[in-house]
Every structure is written in C-alpha cells, then in structure tokens.
Amino acid sequence: MGNDTVTAKDERPVVLVVEDEALTIMDLSDVLDAAGYEALQSASAERALGLLTARTDIVALITDVELSGKTDGFDLARAAEQMRPDLPIVVVSGRSKPDPERMPSHARFVARPCRGDDILDVLRTLMKP
C-alpha cells in the first residue's frame, strides 16, 4: 500500500547515461527527466555494464566516448550491444570521430558541442518501433 508512489515514479523508462563529467551528466539527466525518462547515471563503463547486467528495465544507453577507467564509450557500446542486441545506443563525443569499426551497427553518433535536446531527439528516433 505504501509503495504506490514509488511504483508510479519508477514506471518511467530508464535511460542509462554514462559520462564522467558531472555538469554534463546533470544537464543531460535534467533533459531526460523533463522528457519523462528516468536517468540512471554512471561515471564508468565498468559500472554501466554491471547495471546493464543487473537491471532489465534499462531501455536505452547514452555514453560519452572519453570515460575514466580502462573502457571507453566505443567499447562499452559494443559490449552493451552483445548483451542486449535491441538496446538503442547513442555515442557522444567532442573529441573523437565516429569510428565505424568500433561503433555497433545500430548505434548513432552525436558530435559535441550539442544540446541535451539534440541527444534526446536522436534517442527518440532510435526508440521508435
């Protein structure tokens, strides 16, 4: 009975956002939140893969290419695609170019500078059935 409010809030689609710059991840999380998604934040690819393994409610992945830790966003995107072949993936970078060799076939690349809304638009396109 007391869980009603929690369940309603948790029914929003969960988008995993992997980014190690605090301001960037907060900004993108706000945009996702306003659009009706729940942003699940991770600063490292290793933690993100753990979350993808543990949580079946994640409906999409947005990752920066440059991450702290050994794994970059391209490797994370490929690992995520192997785990969840239907998962929409957006790869974002201000420094790297899209690398067709390292990008999952159905993932989309967004170059920075861009707005959170630009990333959201690409994500929505990927999530259309």
pLDDT tens sequence across 2-31: 444 444 455 899 999 999 998 999 999 999
The span from the CA of 98 to the CA of 62, in Å, is 14
pTM for this prediction = 0.89
pLDDT digits (tens, 9 = 90+) for 91-102: 999 888 888 889
Domain that holds residue 70: 12-111
Instruction: For residue 16, give the 3-state DSSP assignment.
Output: strand
Q: How far apart are CA 42 and CA 59, in angstroms?
A: 15
CATH number at residue 62: 3.40.50.2300
Position 51 in a domain: yes
